[in-house]
Structure formats: structure tokens, C-alpha cells
Amino acid sequence: MANCQSCGSPWDGKQTAPVGSFAPNHFGLYDMVGNVFEWVEDCAHTSYNGAPTDGSAWIEGSNCYARVIRAGSCCYRADYVRSAFRQWTSADSRVNYLGFRVARMLLAP
């Protein structure tokens, strides 16, 4: 379940859903796809050629004025609502279906 256009939620294609409106995933994380696109640290690149293989942000070798956004939004169809979906937009974009997730690195014990 996710909030996207024609996904079956009360907010489909109209507005964002309240946080926690859907069950968490298997990792206990809520709202990982749909609702709003999420900014990520990566700069825009046209392919994955040369991308870091360790999962770190890809911030070199491109125009970092355009940043990657992921995971679809309430205004997009279900085929865009997946963590692998990415596109980019300028860093000064301001729209109601674009947000970010606050996260931090956990330190090893």
C-alpha cells in the first residue's frame, strides 16, 4: 500500500497522506515509497556508469545543481512508486509532492 495516483488510498492523486497511514515494511520503516518524492544526496547523472559500488552518495562528475529524487509521489502512477525509480530536478524546486527524510548513520558498537 502506498499513496499514489490510482493506488487505492483515500488520498490518491489529491494530496499527501498522514505519516504512518500504511503499515511499515519488513524493516519497520514507514512511507518509503509514494506520498512525496524524496531528495537524496546524489547529483544527477544520466546513467549508473561510474557510480560508487559501496552505496555512498554519488556527488562527483556531474552537475550537482540537479539532484536525484526517488520513490514516486501521490501525484504519480504506481509504476513510478518504487525505490529504484529515480529522476532529478533542480535544487531550488519547490512543489508539494517533494520532500526529504531525516536520517543519520548508526555508529558500530
Regarding beta strands 37-43 and 98-99, do their DSSP bridges make them parallel or antiparallel, or are they unpaired? parallel
**pLDDT at position 53 over 90:** yes
Cα 6 to Cα 77: distance, rounded to the nearest angstrom: 7
| Residues 33 and 69: beta-carbon distance below 8 Å | no
Q: Tell me the mean pLDDT in the region 26-45.
A: 89
| Residues 62 and 44: beta-carbon distance below 8 Å | yes
Hey, CA dihedral for 13, 19, 20, 21, is it positive or negative? negative
Residue spans of the domains in the chain: they are 1-49+56-102
| pTM of the complete model | 0.78
Of the two residues 104 and 41, the one the predictor is more confident about is 41
In the structure, what pLDDT confidence band is assigned to residue 75 with cuts at 50, 70 and 90? confident
In the structure, what pLDDT confidence band is assigned to residue 30 with cuts at 50, 70 and 90? confident
Residue 19, pLDDT score: 85
